[in-house]
Structure 1
Amino acid sequence: MSTWPTEMAPPGRGTAGPPSPALLPGGMVGDGRYRLLSYSGTDARCNAQLWRARDGQLGRDVALTVLLGNQADARAAARVRRTIERAMHAASYAHPGVSRILDVLSPGNGIAPREQVLGIVVAEWTNGTDLIDLIADGPLPAATASRLLEPLAAAVEGAHHAGLVLGTEHPQRIRVTPEGQLRLAFPGPRAEATSRDDVKGLGAILYLLLTGRWALPGGPEGLPVAPIGPNGSVVAPRSLHPMVPHSLSTVAVRSLEDTSVGGIRTGAAILQVLDEIAEAEAETGLIPVVAEEPEDDVVWTTQRPVKDKKRTRKLAIGVSALAVATLLVLGWIAMQVVGFFNESNTKGDGGPPLVISQVVPTSDTKQSVNNAPTPTSGPVKPASVSVFNVASDPDSPNKGGLAIDGDPNTSWRTDKYLSNFPALKPGIGLMATFGQPVKLAQVVITSPSAGTKVEIRTAASGQPQLQQTLVVGSGTLASGETTIPVKMASPSDRIVVWITSMSPSGKLFASQISEVKFIGAR
């Protein structure tokens, strides 16, 4: 048996080495199809190792849950078969909070008999960072923890409605996406796992985010465990950190307790509390916007903002100076107007009239000139429409064309979100591509999603980023048809309809667009 290199087993990630020389970085599994790249952890409860690997046939990175053991051990083989069956059933379940299962392998079906591997669950690789690395510098603020956990809790609730068990009760199976969402990156539930274990997993993850401690048995070596109180239950997070809201502390503990003594049974109950925390954050501003530009590869910050007294004093002085200057300008204008009328009364009709607008143009005059409608020339038909997405997992990517098919009964829809934009991503939209550059006067959008806020943007050719687009119009959609005026300085062959805020639907947010018409300018 090969020894595991110490540099491959950092504290908190487990130190159990692989039982076979094949399970080393650079080794091959799955009949030579997958090359192991980096070790992510070990789930000792089911003798599984978690790896990032390279699919040699398709040329992409994947996440491997490698179930180890002796192929002659009938009992171990039966447990692995149960895990493989569950993974196969879950392969059809699609949710942003769960990595999509691509394949499952078993001895004789992708696994060579000589390998000390009983099964492999292959899933798409999740970019981002490990969950344990996220709390390496200490617990997170309550609002940040709630926002991170929402997508995973929603995935658990949806899976349970579909009769599936995900297997969320191990921290090394969870990763944090660049968009700031927890995701089950290594699916493949244990043979004996139940939906109740998924709920316990959510509670343990929430406890970990709030305290930096793991509250379930079988966690990684080196990760601090949750303290146990005199009553046999874990100590509430609020007792360890008084800043944790009472409701969030309670739901973390009750998720871990037996349902016979008041424990939480479903993910929906956890989601309800997370929604309440998110609403409280929106009302009280628990996490102020950070003005400084983030460093490279930094997705979010867990540090509380620090009050800068010098900066506050400078800001107050600046505001005061601006107010004094404004009063002086207004006083000068008033004196000029009074002087004009006094001069007119003294000279009678002999003096030349003074046109005030030549001295001080009014803002109303400027607005009427800038907002003058652009003459139209008629509809312009785009060559194609695709989903314009700046994050992973685009919404309904194959249905963008329904927005220009001429049938108002068909629609392109966003996904349903627990938080409105830009909580987890800045927005989502449709990009229309024209055969040649066009100059528009209006964009007419038919939609049943009243209250949806959109921007009309021009984009450069190729694969433009959001920061490379230019806003040329904006508006709030009414139920039915909404006309949005557009001001374009130059023609463009790509027009983006960008949704910045979706319509509320109960506790969820979603929008749909039935038709988009582009009206050219003369």
Structure 2
Amino acid sequence: MTQVGEGPTAAGSAAEPLGGLAVGDVLAERYRLEEHINNDSAGRQVWRGVDVVLRRPVALVLRTPGGSSAEEMLSAAVTASRVVHPNLIGVYDAIDEGERAYVIREWIDGTALRDLVAEEGPFDAERTTSVLHAVADAVSALHTSGMAHGNVHPGTVLIAGDGRVVLADARVDANTSNEADVRSLGALAYFLLTGHWPKAEAGRESALPDGRRDSTGALVAPRQVRAGVPTYLDDLVMDLLDGKLALPSAQVLTSELARLDTGERLLLGGNGTLRFAEEAAEPTPRAATPKLMVAGGVALALVVSGLVLAVRALNADATQPPAAAPSPVVSVEPSATVAPRPQALVLRDDQVRIVDPYGDRDNASQAKRMIDGDVNSHWRTSYYNQNFGTPAQPKKGLGILIKLDKPQIVSSVKLQLTDTGTSAELQAGPADAPQTKAGDQTIVDTFKRVEGATVFGSDSGSTMVFATDATTPYQYLMVWISQLPKDSENASRFRVGVQEIVVEVQ
């Protein structure tokens, strides 16, 4: 379990290695070390311990040396200890012994978001909103006290076993500000929805994979990375990460998330961009345990015929706490309808095949394993000593053709792969062709990349979600694999397998 995050290293505060500590050591004649958990990016050690006086578990965050080098860490801990909030970790003590310094805080029996998303995959819209609401509420409480957190990151947000969301490990450095905290909340939402951390927009480096980007280097929206992200949440995230837009205060953001978290949806008009009213009401009180255990279901945005909602633009000084005012009232016409949820198609064996004008259609007879609903069975490419597209490899790639029964609005095409590091893109074309080398070459020549769909590179994960614009009907789609990862069993060869393909349509 991760008890401290991977957030930024404070400028000029790199810690020296902590030596000589062992299980059973007692610090300050009170805190007994029980287990070394991990080290954070600032070189600090994190231990699980016991307060032998109060007989309760604690977490100890230690660094060396103490003195002036530890001043920022201790100052942040002291300030944070004055703010009591259910979504902030409790800070019990801060001690400077000169040769080392340490902070004693609440022990959370849980997992960091960074690790939870790595294990379970990105969150759905409802779960994302609930987590973001909790963290924003904690940040808002800190800002109200006059303190910025300075380290909002997937590694510093912990999910306790009972579902409680806890923000930990406040830091102070040259980049710490209220605005940076709010921007980081947008980056946190992007991570929850995609599993990627937009480093440039967040203003914080991380070992997490960078946000998805198009050919120009611009950050692509979450709904272009994966299917099922509703427009209102997609726009919220991209607004918070847009450096050209003024940011709301954490209090205002919390108010808006409170409405979303309780099921109320904001109706978006015009270009669909969400803006905040600085006169928003006080945040709606949260339940003690957020709705994190909901496994499925994506909150749906309402679409109202002929209704355009004008949401007042941000105040230029959006970091000041908002004045209390009645919540805005949105009138919904009786004709409002709920946008249909995408449905996964049940594909037949004859609806998928391998396209390979340069070879022998690698293991083509196993293609049906990609649509059998069993992730334990899969189609694999052949082994290659040289990767596709290299001078020594004449093969430029191969494709997986998906043939629908009729033209349909496709929400997404999802691939579950056996390995990370595959390069691929989604293409579409006008028709099928015979299963011959000439027919395969016709498909390669006539199919073009689906505009707006993510192009995955060598840094891709094992899950690929190609989202379309949801307005153009498609009947013939192809996933074109242009590079293979190294084989997990033999690093001198290249190979990948596809466990499942899921096509969702409107």
Q: Under a length normalisation based on structure 1, what TM-score does the superposition of the two structures give?
A: 0.44
Higher relative contact order (CA 8 A, sep 6+): 2
**Which of structures 1 and 2 has the bigger CA Rg?**
1
